[in-house]
Amino acid sequence: MIDRAPFGRTGHQSSRVIFGAAALGSMGQERADVVLAEVTAAGVNHIDTAASYGDSELRLAPWLADHRHEVFLASKTDRRDAEGARTQLELSLRRLGVERLDLIQFHNLVEREDWETVHRPGGALEAMIAARDEGLVDHIGITGHGTRIPRMHIRSLGEFDYDSVLFPYNFSMMSDPAYRSDVEELLGLCSLRRVATQTIKAVARRRWREAPARRFSWYEPLRDPDAIGRAVHYVLGRPGLFLNTTSDARLLPTILEAAADVGGVPTDEAMRADVEAQGIEPLFDGGDLERI
């Protein structure tokens, strides 16, 4: 079974692997039920979805009817103003068939204009605080992609006492000294304030060079099971980090198997060998590749 750890100061003991329910976005219900059975059998008790993940919330609803009390349930809003965020939250609750979320997150809060809108009077934060006061959500978090997001999360935590952050974390990105420095500063702050730290892109290989006709993630993931295992161990070998699974559900069994048998952090030599052998490239570069 997958280890569990305190999810920040929320009081929940979450599995260190969080099911990224973006994987359900384009599935039929029958396939989604099979995937959720795999997640349950592995001991995953934390689910992360979003209003913008296609039909993900709808695919979760039948399963949640029987399992809501067993899991920490998180969703996201990409609306920046109060009215839009409240409307989207209420829609998510209806689609999921639940009365409350354990966590609502601002989706990819990285651009300065978006950040300012969220935090000013009449912004989305104001609406989510009101929703928390009403019992519709228990906690509020922030997420983001790209090399700039750790620095923006630090700024966000200076503005409001968020309960969780989410950001990319893999060997390729952490090999960039500037990115690593920002991540370490963010992790130090989160540790001090008991903010939960979620990671994404653990098994990313690179951006698609020639995208297939049908793809299940916007980036090309690793396929080699041993390389996936080392990528998973690279994240989970660091105490306090949670790993969100990829949107390509075909890789879910390999990720779950690796997570159940996690050891220490792989050596840099082993990770560099994977970079070479697997053709791993940075997903983000601080410039043109920042936007997805």
**Tens digit of each residue's pLDDT (9 = 90 or more) over 271-290:** 999 999 999 998 987 665 56
Per the model's pLDDT, the better-predicted residue between 292 and 159 turns out to be 159
pLDDT of 174 above 90: yes
In whole numbers, what is the pLDDT of the chain averaged over residues?
95
10 Å Cβ neighbour count for 192?
9
Is the model's pLDDT at 82 over the cut of 70? yes
Domain residue limits, the chain: 4-290
Instruction: Please say if the pLDDT value at position 201 is more than 60.
Output: yes
Record the pTM: 0.96
Instruction: Look at phi and psi of residue 259 and say left if phi exceeds 0, alpha if psi is from -120 to 50, else beta.
Output: alpha
The pLDDT value recorded for residue 287 is 63
CA 290 – CA 292 distance, rounded (Å): 7
Measure the CA–CA gap between 75 and 66, rounded to whole angstroms.
19
Length, in residues, of the chain = 292
46-83: burial string, b at 16+ Cβ within 10 Å, e else: bbbbbbbbebbbbbbbebbeebbeebbbbbbbbbbbbe
* Average pLDDT for 190-196: 98
pLDDT of residue 183: 98
pLDDT digits (tens, 9 = 90+) for 96-154: 999 999 999 999 999 999 999 999 999 999 999 999 999 999 999 999 999 999 999 99
**Residue pair 178/209 in contact by the 8 Å Cβ criterion:** no
CA distance 93 to 101: 8
Give the pLDDT confidence of 204-260 residue by residue, as tens digits: 999 999 878 788 888 999 999 999 999 999 999 999 999 999 999 999 999 999 999
Which pLDDT does position 216 carry in this prediction?
A: 84
The pLDDT value recorded for residue 288 is 53
- What average pLDDT does this structure show over 46-50? 98
Q: Among residues of the chain, what percentage have pLDDT more than 90?
A: 91
pLDDT above 90 (res 45): yes
pLDDT, average across residues 52-63: 97
How distant is the alpha carbon of residue 121 from its chain centre? 27
By 3-state DSSP, what share of the chain in percent is helix, strand and coil, each rounded to 5? 45, 20, 35
Whether the Cβ atoms of residue 105 and residue 143 lie closer than 8 Å to each other: yes
pLDDT computed for residue 212 by the predictor: 81
102: which 2 tokens? Answer: 């354990």
CATH 3.10.400.10 corresponds to the domain 4-290 = no
Convert 112-147 to b/e letters by CB count within 10 Å (16 or more is b): eebbebbbeeebbbbbbeebbeeebbbbbbbbbbbb
Please give the pLDDT value at position 210: 83
